[in-house]
Amino acid sequence: MLSRIFGTESEGAPGDGHEQVVLCHDRHSGLKAVIALHSTALGPALGGTRFYPYASEEAAVQDALNLSRGMSYKNALAGLDHGGGKAVIIGDPAEIKTEALLRAYGRFVQSLRGRYITACDVGTYVADMDVIARECDWVTGRSPEHGGAGDSSVLTAYGVFQGMRASAQHLWGTPTLRGRRVGVAGVGKVGHHLVQHLVEDGATVLITDISEASIARVRAAHPQVEVVADADALIRADLDVYAPCALGGALNDGTVPALTASVVCGAANNQLAHAGVEKDLADRGILYAPDYVVNAGGVIQVADEIHGFSFERARNKASKIYDTTLEIFALATADGVPPAAAADRLAERRMSEIGRLRTILLPDGSRG
């Protein structure tokens, strides 16, 4: 087993750089992974493990850096005592995922001695966390049989729905999607739960997904849902709300000009393809609910599991995503900036103010 560790601590404001990046390689199992720790200012870094067939190691590193930074901001605005981290395993999970590979990965996480706590993400599941935990103490998102909370997509979807309710309140003066047309791009882990909330709230729902099985599952439960050909067709459909719930980068120079929706609020991470897209949305009068704010329900759940899981407690905390989203919209209006910039400011303020407390020496000689 081989790991290379790079320290990149920033001397600037929170979010300027990463504290640590670990490249992991285990030749016998075929494991190649990247663990990125963006910040531990608020506590141990918490974030999932993505298993994906990246085109190159450089692409994997960049994704880990982007995702881990997003986790710092997500955890800060969710009110958690956790910093941000993320890991990616390089390869097609359908082809190379094995017990040996997952356990080798668990040993790399263990070697960080609690600076990073991992959980599920794209390509990894509750059962995988149970395997990783056989070699590692720093795992959450485990199965109920092993003392965990199980599938975190339930509260992720619930939090996104709360963000949509806040968006509706801010834009239309009422916290409901009743009578609105909502397009959900991606109805897998999270998206199909989101559809359930929207249908129950009285919305007209349009969906698309590259998986026919995922579409069939939603249609079986909700036959009134309309299916469109692909994400491009959904973006151009007559919508009030567009909800990207698949992989990141959905909002870019091509899709933003084509959007018909007045609100963008979805579960996908890193929806903005590059800096400046948030201004393009604002210039078009499209209200953007920052992804790392509204999709924090899952990380709220797995963070709660660390301390002994209570679904009711975690759900109550996730319901506050509604209030946080409204606060961000109000700050954006007051400061004359896009909501994404306002959200960053709130997150950075908390990382700075709470992180500062670690400089206060405690009676036992520790710094917390």
DSSP-based three-state secondary structure for 13 = coil
∠ CA 101-102-105, nearest 5°, is 90
Pairing of strands 204-208, 226-227: parallel
Question: Could you list the active site residues?
Answer: 86
Closest CA relative to residue 194, chosen from 270, 260, 265, 299: 265
Give the chain's length.
Answer: 368
Q: Token pair of 35, please?
A: 């663990």
Contact 34, 23 (CB under 8 A): yes
How far is the CA of 27 from the CAs of 30, 101, 227, in angstroms?
5, 10, 44
Helices (H), the chain: 57-77, 93-96, 99-110, 126-132, 153-172, 191-201, 212-221, 231-236, 277-283, 291-294, 297-306, 311-319, 321-335, 339-355
φ/ψ of residue 25, rounded to 5: -145, 125
DSSP string, 263-308: EE--S-SS-BSSTTHHHHHHHTT-EE--HHHHTTHHHHHHHHHHT-
DSSP string, 142-170: --GGGT----THHHHHHHHHHHHHHHHHH
Contact 159, 300 (CB under 8 A): yes
DSSP-based three-state secondary structure for 139 = strand
3-state secondary structure 74-105: HHHHCCCCCEEEEEEEECCHHHHCCHHHHHHH
